[in-house]
Chains A and B, each alone.
Chain A
């Protein structure tokens, strides 16, 4: 079993490190969190290095990349920058459109994407009354006499919703009732009359803000429907597994960054005439962290490898995301502990990482929903 990286993967990791060293020093990251966005230079450099195109199909100008490499890229980008960035989410939206959309729909998005390399489409899925309970969504599309459709409703927690030119919205066809399981995906320009957004203040992850998006009698046409009528949910579900892998990869990278900082600190910090790294209680925290990092890492790459083999990882990733995102938060919590009082300030970044990681537990589905998925699926895997 070869756990090694290929030359190309190693060179990719070196390029990511160089990228992070140049654009994500402590002060720059602080500014990005204050400004609620990644700096323009960092965005441009990311685009210039071709990173946004990894994982997209060749037909749309992408660089086809296997899931393992995309996971590696995400993990390392997050470890080296120590920050949340909107890049992978941006790529996923383009990937969805490349896969489910018509060539016209895809090229509209790719044209924007190529220019900026930035997130161009935000997914609008959850609603104030429908988070885990997706079927409870009540936003609707209703066909009009003239053949157009009118969208009405409210979406929430839309990542980068106020900053992107396009919104990828899922809503019920005609009838908001729970029993109606026919939903369609629509590609809507954010500046369409009737679309408005409202700010939400997150506790962390400030570089990837999310917003409420309101749709008041928004008119769309048939050519804006992505995929077949009523199929929206099935389409989105296809990529949930990989998206969950990326949530874990992001958390893994951030948790690793926190561990890197904490161990360095433990070696430098003198208490009772010795570096605190010699203290068994500190060693316990470090080892608990390392156990979590290694376990989640290898399980993650196993899941990504399975995706590369064309296999479903429905139960695996549900379990990994449920356990892993909580465990990564624990890693950051242990790192704050190692820093002591200093860890509870903004002087060091482990506290910011801790806040970011708490959000990861909720991203891509709550732990409770993950447990529900796994709980039903695991016994089925046994004869």
Chain B
């Protein structure tokens, strides 16, 4: 069985700071695997292991993602090979544009795939649309919010968890499936896996042609904070605090 998992490499938002003019300062931010993609990677690795399959990771990220440590991180999580396209125009690329690039990687390196897994949404844009766009581009079915998967011949039966109901859906392969974080807890890569990662194949290419963006980003700024009264009381002033709260609740 051949499984593909889409992985986005992003800046660690814990290290992104807001400058005086409300623009974002990424200078101290290291590159990491987008959080929910680690769950998708784990689900893909477990599925491959359970079904005697192979699993490759594909990624459309910025040139900063071509970082030996983050690539080894991906490869230390049960992934056999990594195919990356790195271009800075991908930083805020919309889902249509990203999906075309991912389709290109799949066509060139894994066209005989059975299943493509995606995470719930990337840490930066959290659009949750790349799965749909990729499925449309590849002309295959797609389902999201999947919390459990089982391969049954040429289909995958999934547990799909919505707010009020849980569905059991049979998905014909090949298909794209977007998994929720609870689908699998990411493994803790041990030293064996970390050492082996450095020896696994991985390739990084540039964009072959211009990015087909469908959305223009005009501005990115930290939000203006809604002006708040900021009346802060000390623990001893509980009476005054309670009075202010009572007034606000009227």
Contacts and interface: CB of A to CB of B under 8 A. Distances in A.
Interface of A: 7-8, 10-12, 14-15, 18-19, 22, 45, 48-51, 53-54, 63, 65
B68 interface: yes
6 contacts: A7-B72, A8-B195, A11-B73, A12-B194, A19-B188, A48-B190
Which are the 4 A-B pairs with shortest beta-carbon distances?
A50-B190, A49-B190, A7-B69, A49-B188
A7 B198 CA distance: 9
Nearest to B71: A7
Interface string B49-83: 00000000000000000001100110010000000
B192 interface: yes
B193 interface: yes
Interface in B187-230: 187-195, 197-198
A15 B189 contact: yes
A281 to B, nearest CB: 25
Contacts of B193: 50
Nearest to B189: A15
B188 A54 contact: no
Contacts of A7: 68-69, 72, 198
A48 B188 CA distance: 9
A108 to B, nearest CB: 23
Which interface class (under 10, 10 to 19, 20 to 34, 35 or more) fits B? 10 to 19
Contact of B189 (A11, A22, A45): A11
B196 to A, nearest CB: 10
Contact of B191 (A10, A22, A50): A50
A275 to B, nearest CB: 15
Nearest to B30: A10
Contact of A45 (B72, B188, B192, B197): B188
A54 B191 contact: yes
Nearest to B73: A11
A11 B72 CA distance: 8
Nearest to A22: B188
A49 B189 contact: yes
A45 B187 CA distance: 10
Interface string B39-52: 00000000000000
Contacts of A14: 73
A50 B68 CA distance: 22
Contacts of A12: 191, 194
B188 A8 contact: no
Interface in B99-124: none
A232 to B, nearest CB: 31
B190 A15 contact: yes
A367 to B, nearest CB: 33
A22 B194 CA distance: 19
B236 to A, nearest CB: 13
A14 B189 CA distance: 9
A45 B190 CA distance: 10
A22 B186 CA distance: 11
Contact of B188 (A18, A63, A65): A18
A63 B191 CA distance: 8
A51 B191 contact: yes
Nearest to B195: A8
A22 B185 CA distance: 11
A12 B72 CA distance: 11
Nearest to A52: B190
Contacts of B197: 11
B132 to A, nearest CB: 31
Nearest to B193: A50
A51 B190 contact: yes
Nearest to B192: A50
Nearest to A10: B69
Contacts of A50: 190-193
B188 A15 contact: yes
A316 B58 CA distance: 49
B38 to A, nearest CB: 10
Given A7-B198, A54-B191, 12 more contacts: A7-B68, A11-B73, A11-B194, A12-B194, A15-B189, A15-B190, A15-B194, A22-B188, A45-B188, A50-B191, A53-B192, A65-B191
